[in-house]
Every structure is written in structure tokens, then in C-alpha cells.
Structure 1
């Protein structure tokens, strides 16, 4: 007991003990501080992870509630996250689409361009966009706009890529529809312009059909074209021509020799539908069509597909064109519309060529009638004057009036020469010489004087109002009418007095002609070109004709033309 107390009471021992206890306390404090620091670090770590999990949960919630396909990926471009909408659209889980597996949903035609562009974007570290088709979970592809932007650190290095995929299918459809419509309009305009240019330059109407068929062949990349016409009587469809080897050949060409040139129209054939519905029809493979002569002729030419397009005139079905191809073809609605528009132009050109032929025939008839009228107005009427002068010369000679007889013969010769000259001019469709040398008033005065000179017919001619120029055609026809009526007075009327008045009124011109001869019944039929020819001339110059006559009371004729004052 004493020893223990002594040890305790020993100052040295007590100090040593205190030092040991202090050392122990310091060690425990350091440990406590280390533990505290470790706990603080772990707490910060846990809080950081919690914040991150909370942030990621918030990001996922935000992306999953956004109506779009959202993703983010690493700096190398590999995908690390795909939102719910992306997975729902593609049908892939997030794990199936991570990394570079997302490229499996890109359309094979768009993938090479997208991969190349994506590589350029990663290198450039800049925001960009690209369009591509993405496969939907049901296998259908839709157009998307793929946009991306980088997240950069303070040094400008890419930390992460963020992107969105936006459905633009409807926009692309509108763009394609507009493009198709534009192509259709451009094709029609170009074809029409080319046709109008040819119309202005090409004198032969049938060449215009060839020109348009060439345009269609080039625009559609076709091998050749056949043109079919509907026979209204039988309802059968026969080949009229074909555009082959760069030119038009008609059905009379030797290449069609011995063939039945009519299409069989039983229901088992594909083309009756075209003529029944009046809509284009596609024969994808003529090799599948039952054999007949015109089809068999196409097989050695390598023809496979034929697009049949109906042709219309004024809404009436007239035939069809067959656009031939050496490979299988399919056509969109816009291409069908273009083909229809061009087929109608072909029909118009065929109709134009037909009308041109009819016009040429009509022009020939009209020219023949003109020459006949001019012969009547020049030679026939000139000969009338010659005969009148010869009869007067004969009468003077019988009465011993040699000088007067000679004068009548001179007038007859002069009239004969002038008539021959006028006949020559009429062949070249030239105006009467006297109208080239004078105005209408002067020409009529000279005509009336020459025709009645040396005859028993007294002639009176007056011009009333202020004379003014008339259209050349009007002057020539009034001149010929005056000549015709005076000739009739000389030959048939047995008149003593012939009066003529050329009257210039405000807004119109009148030619009044009157004789006191024996007259006639205007309602009776008259041979020759007399009254009928006069009516035709008056109608041609837009005038009005009034004829008043009755037996033994002479004849009065008035021609009235509308005319603007100078």
C-alpha cells in the first residue's frame, strides 16, 4: 500500500504518466480528425452522386416528356443516352441503340452520306444538321431532321454531344409534291414552247407532229412511240403512225406490210380499259400480253413496257399514244399527268396537220374561184367591150362611116390589150392597173369612160362628199362590181342612160349604180357570175348590197361599206 502511494506521489512518475496520457489523447484526436475528414469526404461523394442521380433523373424526365427524339453521346460521337421517344419510334431498347448501333435504323440509301457528314461534324466541333430517313418500329421509313450541338469545356474541347431528331415527313412530301408539280409545269411549258417555236419555223404541218413526238421520246427517255386513232364508225382502234428511228413512219410504211393494223378489243386485252375510262394505263410487260402481230413486232426491238395515254379533242376521245420503253417502268401521278398533257398536244398537232391539209385544199379551191372571178371580170368583161366596139365598127362600116369604124376598131384593140394585161395581173393576184395609177374615184371614171366610149349608152358619173382612201381590198372589189354592173347594162339591159355615184358619207361609203334598161327579176336564178359574184364580193368586204329591179323599169344597185373618216 505504501509503495503504491509512493509511486503515485512521485513527481517524476506522475509527469511521465501525464505525458503518456497526453500522447494517447493526441493520437486519438488525429484519428478523430482523420475519421471526420474521411466522413466529410464520403458525405460529399454521396451528396455528389445523389445530385448527379437527381440531375440525370431530371434530364431523363425532361427528355422523356419532350415530343421529339433526343440523345447525347461522348466526344467521339458514340451515343450514351436515348430518350423514351427514340426507343419507342425505332422499337430498339436503349442498350440496343447505344454506341454506334443507332445507325441500324438509318435508311441504307442515306447511311453513307450521314456517316460521312457526322464524321466531319465531330472533327469540326460545330453545331450542324442533316436529313435522313429513319426506320420506324413497323418497318416504315420517315424523313427526319437530325440536329446536334457540342458541349465544350473552357479550352474548347468537346465534352459531350447533344442532339434531336425531328420528323419532317410531311414537309418532305409537300416539297416532293411541289417539285413534281414544278417538273410537270416545266415539262408542259418546255414542250409547248418548243412546239410553238416549231410552229413558227416549220412550214410543213405534219413535221410538227414529228417534232412533238421527238420531245416526248426525249423527256421520258422512251425508245419510240406509236399513235393510234379511233374509227368512229366501227369503234376500232388502228395504228396511224409511229415515231421510230428518229422519224415518223405512217401505217402505210413497208414495216407494217401484211399486218393487221387494228387492236383487238376483247376484254382479255389491257387497252380497252384506256378507251373505256379515258385514263392512262401502263402495260408493264408486253411479253405477258397474248400474242398478236403488232405486239410481236415490238419484241425484237426490245420493248418491254408501254404507257398508253388517251388523246382528246374538245373533250372527245380520238385515240391514244403508246410510249415504249426497253426496260420495266413505273410512273408517278405527276408523270402520268405530263404524259396526258403532251398526248393532248400531239392530238392538237395531228388535228392542225389535218386542218392544214383541208385549208390547203380550201385555199386551192378559193384560188381557183378567184381566178375564175378575175377571168370573168377581166377577159369576159373586156371581151364584152371588144364585141360592143366591133359591132359598132361593123355598123359604121355598113353605113359607109369608115373613119368611125376605124375608131371603133382602135378602141376594140385597146380594150383587148388592156383585158389581156389585167388577166396577166390577176394570175399574180395583183390589183387592177388603174387602181395602182389612181384612186377609186379616178379609176371608176376612167373605167366608165373607156367602156361606154363610142357606144349608144350615155354615161354619167359623180363623186359626192370628200373623197378618202379605202382599204385596197375594198377599192378593188368596188371597182370590179362597177365593172360588172356596167357590163351587164351594155350586154343585156339595152339601156340608154347609166348613172353612177360614189358617195362619201360620215362613217360609210356608197356606190350607187342605175340604168334605165329593161330590168329583171332579182328573185329569179341567174347563170354565170353576175349577181352571185357581186354578192360574194360585197360580203367579202363587209358591205351591204341592195338590188332593185323589175322588168321594163331598169335596175338600181347600192353597195354600202362602213368606212372611218380620215
Structure 2
């Protein structure tokens, strides 16, 4: 075996070892330099990305103090970098979400979560609020200890605003839909729909027109202006007048007829008559959204919404206006159908009443007529029998009168409003004399029982008329009201200690005619007692059969 001699030389071996060590040190130095260059290069790339990012980026210490912020984040918040570095995230966080953010950062430090995302509001330097989407992660050092937070912030104000608007519109639609089921008065419901439409679209004015196909005219029904519904929207319309316009020469109407879809009117000069056009021009109206009210594809009216901002309408705004127009249409048609049903029911009731009159009253009067002829024949020949016939005639007349009253009573709705006259009368006396110096005493005798609405209502009105007379004319200091229930009749007595009057000269005044007519309607008897200086007593006696 041949060996290399130098390998066995101790000096050469030492020199080789030194060279190897130096080489290792050099390699380590080169590796370190390369690592430092890589770190410097990565940091530069990080800084470049940090500063030029299209989203906000921040570094914050574990207490939430900003360490670094990029320009985009400053643009979002309205602060300068130097201002931001003197602040913490809590200084610009809306109070509603601050506690949630603090809890999330605590969970990040504890390792319970690795990332935190949320939608929140920042308070800008000018005091305005801005919606952002925030993503936060925790940075750790080489030993794994938490060192700082890094956050990415995206401005979502526009999308969030649209989302909130959509939520508001859905809530508004739900509110008006509930009103449709609970509000019995058509105009009050239409007022709310018009106000909702104007507010949700953030416009100043809107109008509701009703269309008459017979005359080819639109009539202005109501206008919402600055959040209030007005019946006289334009200064040139007089009190009680209705603005009615023909649609025959209206270009937008032809488009409505053809498409049955909303129409955006930008050429106001071409589509509006002079006075309306001048008024809208003065108000700064740039365009008009006309939304048809459709029922079975037939136009029954229109919404007109005035846009003072631009000629452009967001699709969401048009959809909302259409939805509200559908609710208004449904309310109008339901009211019309209810009125038609009411008229049909009234006609049916009239026919029923006519038939009943024929079957009862006509027969009664026929019997009376026959009995009268017989009585005439017997009055001289047999007076006793003639007297019996006259008694039967009286009974027939009373029967006919009872039937007539019963027929009238059936026309009144079945309601309990006037059934408890004792309570209703007591409440009415208290209300009418509230705030006056007059002393009142209300007494109820007997056991109160329910009255027919027709009787209860008329007795209440008679009492109210008598009380009004005492308050306005009698100069009374004390008023006594008594209601007496008996098995076969009811008594109402209203008495005062006022100045009284002469029945011979005042029988046509003080509502006495009205009271007398009401007593006649319910088959009662009215007795009025009064003398000058001695007060007045109104007594009503009504038989209850």
C-alpha cells in the first residue's frame, strides 16, 4: 500500500486543521451574511407590501398601542401616522364593540384562538362612523411568546350601508304589511305607505295619484313632503280642490300602459304641465320615478317619487317602491270590495225589510182597514160590538207598531257599546262635567240589565243633550241624573237647579225637538217640567218588551 507522505506529517496535519476551521468560520460568516441579507430583503418586501397595501394594515403591542400603521389605514380613519402612533385601538373603536374586542385580544394572547375577525365601527377623526372588516392575528417571538398583534382592516362602509338600508327596507315593508291587516281606514294606511316610501328612498317628496279609466284622468290623492302628508301640496291648488290631469298626452303614461313597469322621467319639460314643472324645478327635482299601482294588470293609480340628487335610481329603490305600490293597491282594492259588499248587504237588508213589512205590517194594516169598515157599519146598529171591534183595531195597531220597532232595531249592529247604559252614562257624565264647577249626582236604581243598542244609544244621547243644556243655558250649580231599571220599563231622569224656562215659549229650543224625536223612535214617553227660576226636569219612560 502506498501512502501519502504529507498526511503523516504532524505539521501538515495541524495546518490542514487550521484551514478547515477557517473554512468553517468563513462558511458560517457567509451563511450569516446571506441570512441577514435575506432578512433585510424580506423586511424590505414586508415594508413595501405594508405601505402599498390596498387595505389598512397595523402592528400593535399587547396593550393595543399602535406600533406601525400604513397610509391606507390613515385614510380610513382620517388621522395622520404621527397621530395614530400616539393612540391605541380602543381610542377609535365604537363603545358598542370595545368589550368584545378586548375579550378577543385576551383569547389571542392565551392561545384560545389563532385569529379574530369581526365587522365593527371606527370613529373617524371628524367624528363620523365608518364600518370596517377587521382581521387580527398574534405574532410570537422565537421563544413562542406573544410579541404583538397584526391587523388587516378593510373599509366595508358602502356594502354595510347597503345591507343596513336593505334591512331597514325589509322592516319598513313588514311594518306597512302589518298596518294593512290592522288599520281599518284606507287613507291612514296610504299615508303611512307614502311616508315610508319617501323616507326609505331618502327623498323629499312623493305623490299618490288615483286613476279613473272612465275619464282617462289621474287625480292627486295625497302628497308626502318633508315627512308629512299634505292634501294641498301645490300653492296654486285652492282649499278643497283636487288636481286632476288627463293622461292622454302624457308620454310617460304610454310607456306605463305598454310595460306595466316603473318609468323614470328625466325630461320634466315634456312630461309635466307648466305649473307643476316650474314648482319641481324650483325644488331642484332632477327626475321622477313613476310606479304603477296594478290590479289584475290594470292601472288603478301611480306613485310619483321626486329625485333631487340625480337621474339615476338604484334597482333596490325601484323594487321597494314597487313592493309598497303593491301594498297600496291591495288596500285600495280591499276597501273597494268591502264597500261593494257593504252596498250588496245593504240592498239585501232592504229587500229583507221590504219583504218583512209586506208580510207583517201590510197584513196588519189590511186587518185594521177591514175592521174599520165593519165598525163603521155597526157603530149605529150595534155600538157594543163596534166598541169590541175598535178594541181589536187598537191591538192590531199596537202589534204593527211593535213589529215596526223590531224591524228598525234589527238594522242596528249587534254591539255591546250601549248595552250597559248605567256604566256608559256614568262615564259620559264624568267626562262632560270634568273641569266645570257644577256638582253632579248619578244614581242607578234597580238591577241594571242589557239594553238593545237602539234603545241604549238613544237614551244616552237624550241624557247628553239634557246635560249640555244644563251646562250651557241653565246656569245650574247641581245636576241630578237617575236611571231606574224595572222589569217592564226603564226611566231616565235628568234634573238641574238652574234658571229654568217657560214651556209655553221655549218648546222649540234647547234641543227639545231632538230629544222628543229620539223618544218617539224608541216608543217612549217624554215629560219636561220647568218653570223660570225653578230648574228643569227631563223624564223619559221607555217600555221594555
TM-score (norm 2): 0.49
Larger gyration radius, structure 1 or structure 2:
1
TM-score (norm 1): 0.48
